[in-house]
């Protein structure tokens, strides 16, 4: 087929786009219906150390904050109402708009995929910017203050190739917090020896395999389309796919 896009190379839309949208819908419905499935709702960011919460079992259903905020943004009218609700509650306009969409969804008690906002069973989040753990501290308060919350500071500075070497104390700083969080999770949920490193490992292998398979294939996929399915990188969900 002749390329009419003006690009240097021929491009084509993702053939799996329809299927990706279905999986995405299932993902958000799984979070909503987690309790009917006998599982738990985990709220946290899309960039996460998945192996820790997935250690609780295969029935942990996440809601990753940034893709959810982006999904709200796609529904322009709903997004405006969320932003207005956040502003009315006193949150400054220059805070992250994904975060304000998320808070607005709680304040309005409306889930972007139908029904009231599903209250998470726990929040486990890493602090990758000045807002990320604060995002969930505030979400917890908006939910009534009774959602267990654990935040991990990953502000340990650049790692290779941006830093000349791997500094042991930086790795230890993050690793110690992760180990503490495992103890917290084991005591809170009264389980012993959680851990899902094989799940995380399997997900990474799958991700790299897909990356290699994709090399050389140019896809006409806008950044916004890519972000709308970015929660698929979430460890356990990828394995289940």
CA neighbor of 136 nearest in space, from 191, 219, 65, 188 = 65
Report the distance separating Cα 79 and Cα 77, nearest Å. 5
Least separation, in Å, of the C-beta of 125 and ligand SF4?
10
Among residue numbers 22 through 41, which ones bind ligand SF4 (CB under 6 A)? none
Q: How many CA atoms lie within 13 A of 137 on its CB side?
A: 9
Q: Which residue is nearest to ligand SF4 (CB)?
A: 96
Question: Strand 60-64 and strand 122-127: pairing?
Answer: unpaired
Interaction between residue 99 and ligand SF4 (CB under 6 A): yes
Interaction between residue 20 and ligand SF4 (CB under 6 A): no
33 versus 131: smaller Cβ distance to ligand SF4: 131
Which tokens go with 234? Answer: 């979430």
Interaction between residue 135 and ligand SF4 (CB under 6 A): yes
Least separation, in Å, of the C-beta of 129 and ligand SF4?
3
Among residue numbers 55 through 84, which ones bind ligand SF4 (CB under 6 A)? 66
Give the CA angle between residues 40, 45, 48 to the nearest 5°.
90
Which H or E run includes 60? strand 60-64
Interaction between residue 129 and ligand SF4 (CB under 6 A): yes
Q: Which residues form the interface with ligand SF4 (CB under 6 A)?
A: 66, 96, 98-99, 128-129, 131-132, 135
């Amino acid at each position: 087929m002749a390329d009419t896009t003006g690009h240097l190379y021929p491009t084509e839309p993702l053939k799996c786009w329809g299927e990706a949208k279905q999986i995405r819908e299932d993902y958000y419905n799984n979070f909503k219906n987690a309790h009917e499935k006998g599982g738990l709702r985990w709220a946290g960011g899309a960039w996460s150390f998945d192996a820790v919460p997935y250690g609780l079992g295969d029935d942990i259903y996440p809601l990753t904050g940034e893709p959810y905020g982006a999904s709200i943004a796609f529904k322009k009218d709903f997004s405006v109402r969320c932003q207005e609700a956040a502003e009315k509650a006193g949150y400054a306009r220059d805070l992250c708009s994904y975060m304000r969409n998320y808070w607005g969804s709680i304040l309005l008690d409306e889930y972007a995929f139908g029904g009231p906002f599903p209250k998470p069973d726990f929040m486990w989040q890493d602090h990758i910017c000045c807002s990320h753990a604060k995002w969930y501290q505030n979400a917890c308060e908006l939910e009534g203050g009774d959602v267990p919350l654990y935040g991990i500071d990953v502000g340990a500075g650049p790692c290779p190739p941006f830093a000349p070497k791997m500094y042991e104390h930086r790795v230890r700083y993050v690793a110690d917090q992760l180990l503490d969080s495992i103890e917290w999770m084991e005591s809170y949920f009264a389980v012993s020896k959680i851990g899902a490193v094989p799940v995380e490992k399997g997900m990474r292998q799958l991700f790299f395999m897909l990356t290699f398979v994709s090399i050389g294939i140019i896809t006409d996929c806008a950044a916004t389309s890519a972000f709308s399915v970015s929660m698929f990188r979430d460890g356990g969900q990828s394995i289940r796919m």
